């Protein structure tokens, strides 16, 4: 075997071999060890102690997290966010919004059948999808903004997975008691009592899942009608299928998988890790203050030899993802700050200053570790990066609002007949035919005037207006919130020549909205 040190001049890595149960470290570079297919290999890094034993298994069985109840400012804030977000989700489809007799009165409605999206006073048509795209972009940049300013606050407080997991954990606590009681029950053999308790708890899970899936479908149809139809068995099968799928996913992801989704399934923690910098707020254990850790007894026996951490493990016990923040920032930390509440309470009880675990930036940590003063957290919010994100976010929002404010509710499209392009009438005049589409985006019928411009002597009639009533302008009524298709016939007296001209449509109301389309009139060549 070749000596890897030769290929790594100046390196002093230990490549010694240990092969146990198919797991190996190797004296050889990794490539030659891989030739032994039964052995998994890894490189021995510089900082590792020599001949370190590798874990025997790459898969570790999940330990269910039974987090302990805690109270404190961050927990109360989490309560507030949970109540507000769940209320918004469950209540919004029931809010009514009067749009007159020609449009639905549901404040937020995705009307797939008619291809409309209603949001309070705003109605989005399919051709205006850029508004939805703009909102999605704003949501993305908003997440960047929040992450660069306050770390994973989205994960810790407002992400649906966090909110529903929190809800299910409260149900656990309500039915089975706090952490120790739940652990005891988990480890207890299956008795009738345990079966009944589990049955009761899982029934509540199911109800929550059902309410979640049920609320979702109410965003896609008139909520009171769909609610009635759903329970009378008259709803569309797709509604039942959607509720079933969402009930299953809610119970599975929020009720059973919980922190596993955050740690293993969700891509967002990985993206966020790349977005954090030394000025982003994260939940941090101040090891320069807490270490070496030791119980109060030890600290009393050996004054001055221990830090502030009394190794009570309260921070681990309240953590919804079950991690130990004292091991440093990690992907499992959703920055919910419940460990701050727990540790602050411990510090208060033992008469030491709060903030052994706290929101801090890496920059602050270095300063504090060197004996400097902490910065007020709000100062980390105002820095070029967050301001830039805010300006982009605000700019897109402003542009969308402007576009909404100035958008016209009247639109015209024109498609000329091309086969045949013209017809010669008996009096020598030339006729062209067109299909006009007049869009009325208001929730009331409107009269619209169609006019021909730039085509001298031209007159027009339609499929509902006789040729004997032909004129340079015609008026048609377009129903509320609809596109009306009109066949228009344009005739020019004998001697007409091929040329461009314009159709102009004008709404005959107080707004006098107008739209024009240039098209072509064809005539026989000389």
* Number of residues located near ligand SF4, criterion CB under 6 A: 29
Q: Closest approach of Cβ 303 to ligand SF4, in Å?
A: 18
Token pair listed for 436: 């006009």
Question: CA 316 to CA 223: how far, in whole Å?
Answer: 43
Asked if residue 23 has a cis previous peptide bond (ω within 30° of 0), the answer is no
Rule CB under 6 A: choose which of 107, 239, 281, 356 binds ligand SF4: 356
| C-beta closer to ligand SF4: residue 235 or 281 | 281
| C-beta closer to ligand SF4: residue 141 or 315 | 315
Other CB atoms within 10 A of residue 434 CB? 20
Token pair 């107008």 in the structure block, residue? 514
* 155 and 334 Cβ atoms separated by less than 8 Å: yes
Q: Closest approach of Cβ 285 to ligand SF4, in Å?
A: 6
Rule CB under 6 A: choose which of 24, 150, 251, 339 binds ligand SF4: 339
Asked whether position 357 contacts ligand SF4 by CB under 6 A, the answer is yes
Q: Closest approach of Cβ 233 to ligand SF4, in Å?
A: 44
Closest CA to 516 of 451, 469, 465: 451
Rule CB under 6 A: choose which of 41, 280, 314, 386 binds ligand SF4: 314
Q: Closest approach of Cβ 93 to ligand SF4, in Å?
A: 32
Q: Closest approach of Cβ 150 to ligand SF4, in Å?
A: 12
| C-beta closer to ligand SF4: residue 207 or 312 | 312
With b for 16 or more beta-carbon neighbours within 10 A and e for fewer, the 176-186 pattern comes to: beebeebeebe
| Interface of this chain with ligand SF4, residues 261 to 290, rule: CB under 6 A | 283, 285, 290
Own/partner pairs, 201-206, CB within 8 angstroms, 24+ separation: 201/171, 201/172, 201/175, 201/176, 202/255, 204/171, 204/175, 205/168, 205/171, 205/251, 205/255, 206/247, 206/251
Q: Closest approach of Cβ 407 to ligand SF4, in Å?
A: 44
Token pair listed for 518: 């240039």
Question: CA 277 to CA 364: how far, in whole Å?
Answer: 12
Strands 40-41 and 23-25: parallel
Q: Closest approach of Cβ 327 to ligand SF4, in Å?
A: 9
* 510 and 485 Cβ atoms separated by less than 8 Å: no
Q: Closest approach of Cβ 143 to ligand SF4, in Å?
A: 18
Distance from the first to the final alpha carbon of the chain: 93
* 316 and 308 Cβ atoms separated by less than 8 Å: no
| C-beta closer to ligand SF4: residue 165 or 432 | 165
Q: Closest approach of Cβ 377 to ligand SF4, in Å?
A: 15
Asked whether position 315 contacts ligand SF4 by CB under 6 A, the answer is yes
Rule CB under 6 A: choose which of 24, 107, 336, 476 binds ligand SF4: 336
Asked whether position 365 contacts ligand SF4 by CB under 6 A, the answer is no
Asked whether position 150 contacts ligand SF4 by CB under 6 A, the answer is no
Q: Closest approach of Cβ 298 to ligand SF4, in Å?
A: 13
Rule CB under 6 A: choose which of 246, 338, 455, 486 binds ligand SF4: 338
Asked whether position 346 contacts ligand SF4 by CB under 6 A, the answer is yes
| C-beta closer to ligand SF4: residue 75 or 431 | 75
Q: Closest approach of Cβ 379 to ligand SF4, in Å?
A: 21
Rule CB under 6 A: choose which of 335, 474, 506, 507 binds ligand SF4: 335
| C-beta closer to ligand SF4: residue 329 or 416 | 329
Asked whether position 334 contacts ligand SF4 by CB under 6 A, the answer is yes
| Interface of this chain with ligand SF4, residues 293 to 312, rule: CB under 6 A | 309-312
- Which listed range, 238-246, 263-271, 325-333, 435-443, lies at the site for ligand SF4 (CB under 6 A)? 325-333
Q: What are phi and psi of 223, to 5 degrees?
A: -60, -50
Token pair listed for 353: 């200053």
Closest CA to 321 of 310, 306, 337: 337
* DSSP character string of 178-225: SHHHHHHHHHS---HHHHHHHHHHHHHHHHHHHHHHHHHHHTTS-HHH
| Angstrom distances, CA of residue 394 to CA of 98, 129, 150 | 29, 19, 18
Question: CA 97 to CA 104: how far, in whole Å?
Answer: 8
| Interface of this chain with ligand SF4, residues 211 to 230, rule: CB under 6 A | none
Asked whether position 70 contacts ligand SF4 by CB under 6 A, the answer is no
Q: Closest approach of Cβ 343 to ligand SF4, in Å?
A: 3
Rule CB under 6 A: choose which of 221, 257, 319, 505 binds ligand SF4: 319
| Contacting residues toward ligand SF4, per CB under 6 A | 283, 285, 290, 309-315, 318-321, 323, 325-326, 333-339, 342-343, 346, 356-357
């Amino acid at each position: 075997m070749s000596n890897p040190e030769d290929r790594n001049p100046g390196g002093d890595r230990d490549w010694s071999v240990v092969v146990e149960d198919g797991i190996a470290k190797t004296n050889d570079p990794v490539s030659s060890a891989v030739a032994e297919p039964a052995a998994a290999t890894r490189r021995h890094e510089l900082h590792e102690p020599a001949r370190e034993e590798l874990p025997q298994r790459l898969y570790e069985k999940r330990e269910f997290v039974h987090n302990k109840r805690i109270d404190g400012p961050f927990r109360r804030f989490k309560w507030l966010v949970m109540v507000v977000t769940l209320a918004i989700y469950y209540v919004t489809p029931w809010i009514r919004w009067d749009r007159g007799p020609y449009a639905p009165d549901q404040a937020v409605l995705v009307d797939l059948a008619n291809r409309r999206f209603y949001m309070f006073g705003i109605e989005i048509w399919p051709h205006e999808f850029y508004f939805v795209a703009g909102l999605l972009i704003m949501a993305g940049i908003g997440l960047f903004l929040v992450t660069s300013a306050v770390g994973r606050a989205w994960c810790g407080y407002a992400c649906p997975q966090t909110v529903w997991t929190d809800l299910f954990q409260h149900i656990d606590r309500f039915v089975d008691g706090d952490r120790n009681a739940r652990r005891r029950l988990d480890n207890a053999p299956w008795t009738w009592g345990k079966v009944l308790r589990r049955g009761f708890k899982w029934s509540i899970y199911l109800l929550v899942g059902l309410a979640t899936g049920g609320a979702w479908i109410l965003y896609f149809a008139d909520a009171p009608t769909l609610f009635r139809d759903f329970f009378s068995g008259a709803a569309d099968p797709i509604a039942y299928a959607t509720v079933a799928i969402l009930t299953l996913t809610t119970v599975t992801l929020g009720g059973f998988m919980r922190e596993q989704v955050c740690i293993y399934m969700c891509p967002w923690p990985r993206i966020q890790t790349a977005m954090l910098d030394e000025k982003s707020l994260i939940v941090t254990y101040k090891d320069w203050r807490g270490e070496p850790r030791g119980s109060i007894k030890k600290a009393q026996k050996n004054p001055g030899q221990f830090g502030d951490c009394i190794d009570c493990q309260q921070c681990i016990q309240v953590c919804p993802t079950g991690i130990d923040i004292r091991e440093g920032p990690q992907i499992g930390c959703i920055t919910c700050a419940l460990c701050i509440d727990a540790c602050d309470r411990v510090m208060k009880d033992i008469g030491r200053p709060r903030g052994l675990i706290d929101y801090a930036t890496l920059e602050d940590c270095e300063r504090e570790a060197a004996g400097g003063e902490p910065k007020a957290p709000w100062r980390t919010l105002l820095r070029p990066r967050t301001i830039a994100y805010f300006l982009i976010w605000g700019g897109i929002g402003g542009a969308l609002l402007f576009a909404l404010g100035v958008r016209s509710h009247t639109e015209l499209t024109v498609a000329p007949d091309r086969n045949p392009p013209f017809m010669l009438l008996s009096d020598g005049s030339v006729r062209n035919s067109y299909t006009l589409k007049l869009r009325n985006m208001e929730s009331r019928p409107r009269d619209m005037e169609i006019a021909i411009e730039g085509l001298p002597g031209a007159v027009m009639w339609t499929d509902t207006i006789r040729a004997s009533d032909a004129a340079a302008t015609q008026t048609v009524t377009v129903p509320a919130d609809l596109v009306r298709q009109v066949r228009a016939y344009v005739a020019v007296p004998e001697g007409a020549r091929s040329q461009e001209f314009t159709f102009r449509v004008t709404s005959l109301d107080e707004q006098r909205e107008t739209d024009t389309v240039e098209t072509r009139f064809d005539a026989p060549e000389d």
